[in-house]
Chains A and B, each alone.
Chain A
Amino acid sequence: MNQSMERLRRARPAPAPLTHDPDELFAAIIAEPRDTATRRRPAHRRAVLVAVSIGTAIVLTAGSAYAFTNLFGWHDAASLVKTNRQWQKLYVAAQSDLTLPPGVSWPERTFPPNTVTSTYEPGGMAVGIAQTSWECYWAHAIHTGDVSAQQRAHVALTDLLANHVVVAPPGSSENVAPPASVKPPVEVLASDGGLVYMKRMYARAAAGDPTMIAESCRANS
């Protein structure tokens, strides 16, 4: 599969020719006005104030911000990871809710730079690591004929899908977060058939066919 990707990379078209001087373009663009909060029209500001008042009332009525979130279910994550320390804390906390196959330990991971990372992401990554580890373990167990190991992997992955994998509503943003009633760690999948694919993969493995699960192991390890 790597060879086909390499061939695809080699087939990359030539860069688009730029005929204008970038410096001139830059100067022309920054001469334009920007959208800033201070440039909002008074009517808009009034609408914002009304919305804030209503929001405050709802929060006070419901009793907490969590209740407010529950009211709306899936939402864009407002709570973002700001430091590597915070990220590590969430990643380690997620590990206590998950299990890895025998002989496997949690890999070092760091706060991915240049990303907008919600507080759900470290846990989601931990779920993904556990999932891949169990897939590899299962594929190996099928190859070696270790029936009890196959059963352990099947149980572990069934538990992961049931309790730690959720599917976001269609059309959700990439930064979507589940309702507060969903307890982390969870892996949030887009509504594009990924969960169905995983279930099919595990059904095939449960039937003794390691092909799909071995491919997933190789691709995600």
Chain B
Amino acid sequence: MSTQSVTPEERFRPVFAHLQAVANYAHRRGSLDPEGIAAEVMTIAWRKLDAIPPENPRPWLFVTARNLLLAERRRARRQPPLQPESAGDPGLEAVESGDTVVTAALLELGPLDREALLLVAWDDLSPAQAAAALGVSPVAFRVRLFRARRRFQRALEATATPVTPDVIRMRST
């Protein structure tokens, strides 16, 4: 279908269909307001609709969400902590996982390895999409993902004791 034959609203509709996925992405990266992040991403996407690959918008949306998350984190650092648990390392983010051993193993990874794994395992991005979201070539991503999987497996095997509580602070990626 030619982009000239459809209205901007019609072109935006399939982009907007990723709203829940963007909210999930923000949620899993510890955003304080994942729904707000998702709404802001979509607003930016509407403004910059011509810049978004029409058949593959998700990497663009995730990159935008990631930038907003970083801005959110910078704002949070400038504010005094409201609760004791938010007074830790300003580069940390909360991630809830249903498996504390998995979370502990993720903690052992570097931020690039962790992000490569999560984009594929949690955010359902294909390797090509994840490469685009990270701004690396597909081949480089393939190498990174392979290393990350191996390190994660080793960390998983080495993590004998589950950690508590379920909400664990993770370094930002």
Contacts and interface: CB of A to CB of B under 8 A. Distances in A.
| Category for how many chain B residues contact A | 35 or more
Nearest to B45: A29
Nearest to B17: A22
A33 B48 CA distance: 10
Which DSSP category, helix, strand, loop or mixed, fits chain B's interface? helix
Interface in B114-151: 117, 121-122, 128-129, 131-132, 134-144, 146-147, 149-150
A30 B9 contact: yes
Given A9-B122, A26-B16, A16 B24 contact: yes
Interface in A29-60: 29-30, 32-37
Contacts of A18: 19-20, 23, 35, 38
Nearest to A187: B139
Contacts, number: 160
A64 interface: no
Interface residues of A, number: 54
Given A9-B121, A187-B139, A190-B136, A4 B147 contact: no
B173 interface: no
Interface of B: 8-9, 12-13, 16, 19-20, 23-24, 26-28, 34-35, 38-39, 42-43, 46-50, 53, 55-56, 95-99, 102-103, 106, 112, 117, 121-122, 128-129, 131-132, 134-144, 146-147, 149-150, 152-153, 156
Interface of A: 1, 4-5, 7-20, 22, 25-26, 29-30, 32-37, 112-116, 121, 124, 127-128, 168, 172-174, 176, 187-190, 192, 194, 197-198, 215-216, 219-220
